[in-house]
Chain A
Amino acid sequence: MNLQFVLMQLFNGLILGSLYVLLALGLSIIFGMLGIINFAHGAFFMLGAYAAYTITAYVIPDFWLALVCVPVLMAIFGAFCEMVLFRRLYELPSLYIMLLTFGLMLVLQDAVRLLFGSMGVPFSTPKSLTGMVNLGFMYYPSYRLFLIVVTSLTACAVWLFLSKTKLGCIIRAGTDNPKMLEALGIDISKTMTLVVGLGAGLAGLAGVLAAPIQNVRPLMGMDLLVDCFVVVVIGGMGSLGGSVVGGLIVGQIIAIGVMVWPPMANTLIYFFMAAFLLVRPRGLFGREAFHE
């Protein structure tokens, strides 16, 4: 095992971590506002990848177009789901919305499987990003570097949006106390639509970005989603920093696991989570009594 290989794996862990970050951010924002786990989040991610495939294969073969369109389309789809489905269940215990998203996930996954087949579809790296980049100490695929850059920019943008804009301020207030927000005369249902749309958009973006490097197949989202649960349990729900740090940690654990003992790479994060729960039940940045 030489240094080159180790660095390569750590970078691959960073790639995986970036996808986790995008998904966990959306999961965490939706959780904060609605108080639910969105089981359909992995399905949104998968839909994003398939939407990118459909656009590049059947409409205009342009990756950049897909990169811009798909997150917007997924955000609209997420907002639509919120308005048509989730909204009817806010009065009930949050259990029911979670079960609804679980059903939605099954329906979306199986519908995609029936449409495109369970084997997955081919998706090639965009031409302008096919080469390798010399980082000085090693060569690394330029598409993967691009992915890291886009994810970091997106994470920064989400952070700026939530911490510096009025709308972001409303979302953060809604996360802390939705009832108080409503009492102050803010239409919370619009904020909820926006939040689910934002989360779905982020998942869609992750889907497009993942399409060239992962197999585009119906179950791609669910596998990643469960890993994201580990991410938010470690990072702490309702904290952007927690999602980012947790995502990067879990990505690195898997990368290191692949180097040390490949068959157990995916199992390692669950052991880590179990150990973590015993030491810090609330996660790294989890707040006390937050949706508990």
Chain B
Amino acid sequence: MHRAQLAMLTSFFALALMFPLVAPYVALASEILIFALLAMSYDLVLGYGGMLSFGHAAFFGIGAYTTGILLIRVFPSVPVALLGAVCVSSLAAAFVGYASIRRHGIYFTMVTLAFAQMFYFIAFKWTGLTGGDDGLQGVPRPNIGPIDLHPEINLYYFILALVIVSMFVIVRVVHSPMGTALQALRENRNRAMSVGYNVDKFKLVAFVISGCFAGLAGGLYALLLNMVPLGSLHWTTSGEVVVMNITGGMATLFGPVIGAVSIILLRDTISNYTDAWSLFMGLIFMIAVFGFRDGIAGFFQKKIIPRASEILRRAFPRKR
């Protein structure tokens, strides 16, 4: 590992550890972490797999509802509930992925959005199980052994631990042979096929892994809010995840994290003044598409880092 990468990782961990002290309130810091994980999981699908899915909220919402329902009705244990969320979301992702990866490009986008709407309508109408429009209220936060999750700060560090482990796994997936194959078939589908890769299988596996981590993020979200809002399944949530990826920078893994941090902070700030958040999100979408296609991460890689190194090089010329 390069020294620069090591420095970046260390500063990231330091920032994450100190974040609750800096953020306006601790729950916001936790929310940012959760959405960072969600955005990063989506990067596998959009950035590395080249699949524009508009149904990522489905797996997030399913994870949240599964956690909530398990905690309320079945067994008050956080690990069991989160494990359940991961399993159910992965299953849902396998189902949606199997049906939609049969279609490419634009059709894929439409089919994923339509399936996400299906889950949304089921949650909306099945009020006995999900609470319908009001969301699933009263999700408890039982202790895990000696750890009391009720103080927000404890929950924050619990979420941080899980998010760091997940990010580590996602990074490993991207740099695994499967991850490189995935990028190869994103770049040139036909060539990857002629080399002998089973394109659809790789895409499906990436889709399921992504859905699995989206489910984990959803489960943590249910714990954080003590409820599951119906909006977690809505297509606007999928849209937010897409915009986090675009503004942060696709296929960089840390880009979506930056995107999530900026979008959630911006949403929190703007909603103090006006309720027209989706107007602003639409504008951010359009600005990102027109002027900011490489995202914040790309901006740093292309503009800031070369310029900084140039300045450094001039300031400290190499001795001959």
Contact = CB atoms under 8 A, between A and B. Distances in A.
Interface stretch (A52-60, A126-134, A137-145, A265-273): A265-273
Interface string B61-84: 000000000000000000000000
Interface in A209-267: 222, 226, 229-230, 232-233, 237, 263-264, 266-267
B172 interface: no
Interface size class, chain A: 35 or more
A36 interface: yes
A273 B111 contact: yes
Given A89-B289, A226-B117, A277 B111 contact: yes
A222 B276 CA distance: 17
Given A114-B276, A226-B235, A271 B118 contact: yes
Main secondary structure, interface of B, reads helix
A274 interface: yes
Interface size class, chain B: 35 or more
A264 B113 contact: no
A85 B121 CA distance: 33
A105 B285 CA distance: 10
A110 B236 CA distance: 12
Contacts of B52: 95, 98
A110 B276 contact: yes
A104 B125 CA distance: 29
Contact of B286 (A103, A264, A270, A273): A103
Interface string B125-150: 11000000000000000000000000
Contact of A267 (B105, B118, B281, B282): B118
Given A36-B106, A267-B118, A281-B102, A107 B289 contact: no
Contacts of B285: 99-100, 102-103, 106
Interface of A: 31, 35-37, 85, 88-89, 92, 94-96, 98-100, 102-111, 113-114, 222, 226, 229-230, 232-233, 237, 263-264, 266-267, 270-271, 273-274, 277-278, 281, 291-292
